[in-house]
Amino acid sequence: MALLRMDTLLKEARRNQVALGAFECWDSLNVQGIALAAARTGSPVIFQTTSMEYAPIGGPEIMADMVDFYVRKYSIDAALHLDHGANIKEVEECLRAGYTSVMLDASMKCFEENVSLTKDAADLAHGFNASLEAELGHVGGGDGGVGSESVLTEPKEAAEFVARTDVDCLAVAIGTVHGEYRGKPELRLDRLAEIAQTVKNPLVLHGGSGTPPELLQKAIALGIAKINICTDINKAFLNAIEETRKELSPSLAGNFYRPVVQKMSEKVESLIRLFRREGC
């Protein structure tokens, strides 16, 4: 199997009223865990990175090669996506490395500047036969849930933004946060419903970690086709290391990390099944 355009996978997901998990990648262990979960469930999956994840391992080319290897090894359908690309240079760097989808995040800019920057990025991505994600409104939070403040997406602006930018997937701000919640999560599903009426492109939910499953499933039913997960699987990975340390010596890395990969993969699998709305 080869890596696919992300919007191809997400259009099918939205038609079926399910969502695909977009899981943050930082090394070969967690990439393999995600791939294993996708193979067990028979579900497509999105591998995604920011520059903070691919820089420590040597750059986007190495990440692309690593993901491509596991996609072929386990014969899964998948896309490789740049999350929160900071500028056109970063977007182009990932496209040249083989990413099949990219995000230019100009969500903190004014509407007109967001439109202009996103349109340039869409033209660039389409020239590489890749898809582009952009964000309208702004999903806040950050390290420990502390950081920029959220700005909810305006439904009346969403259709205009998509039409003027030729963006393939639209990330919306409806109450989730990056990192961990400081209070009780409350999603503006009414606002999501309004957006979904006029925007037929796949809709993306950032800040999926820690969001109650019942709210995620309601959002999926209303049109969310991609849910970003970073904190939840990173915590599962670190917790698995602590549990494994009680039984195995880290001096034998080959043995030590096998159960770590398996436990993190089980967390990814549970999220994939949730996003497919199994049991609904």
Q: What is the CATH number of the domain that holds 58?
A: 3.20.20.70
Q: How far apart are CA 117 and CA 214, in angstroms?
A: 35
Chain centroid, CA 107 distance in Å: 16
Given a cut of 50, the residues of the chain with pLDDT beneath it are: 144-146
Give me the phi and psi of 187, to 5 degrees please: -95, 140
The encoded tokens of residue 131 equal 């898809």
- Strand 224-229 vs strand 203-205: parallel, antiparallel, or unpaired? parallel
Per-residue pLDDT, 280: 62
Domain for residue 260, yes or no?
yes
Structural domain contains residue 1: no
Which pLDDT score, from 0 to 100, does residue 143 have?
Answer: 52
State the Cα–Cα distance between residues 122 and 130, nearest whole angstrom: 9
pLDDT tens digits, residue range 204-235? 999 999 999 999 999 999 999 999 999 999 99
Which tens digit of pLDDT belongs to each residue from 141-184? 765 444 566 789 999 999 999 999 999 999 999 998 888 877 77
Counting every residue written for the chain, the total comes to 280
User: 231-245 vs 253-275: helix axis angle to the nearest 10?
Assistant: 140
Does 55 reside within a domain? yes
Q: What is the pLDDT of residue 206?
A: 96
Question: Is 86 a member of any domain?
Answer: yes
Q: How many domains does the chain have?
A: 1
DSSP 138: B
Please give the pLDDT value at position 183: 76
3-state secondary structure of 199: coil
Angle at 207 between CA 86 and CA 229, to 5 degrees: 90
Position 12: which residue type? Answer: E
Is 138 domain-assigned? Answer: yes
Please give the backbone phi and psi of residue 42, each rounded to the nearest 5 degrees, phi first: 70, 25
Nearest to 170 by CA among 203, 197, 199: 203
Beta carbons of 133 and 38 less than 8 angstroms apart:
no
Residues with active-site annotation: 83
Range of the domain at 129: 6-275
The pLDDT of residue 33: 97
Instruction: Provide the sign of the torsion angle of the four alpha carbons 72, 96, 89, 125, taken in this order.
Output: negative
Are the C-beta atoms of 39 and 74 separated by less than 8 Å?
Answer: yes
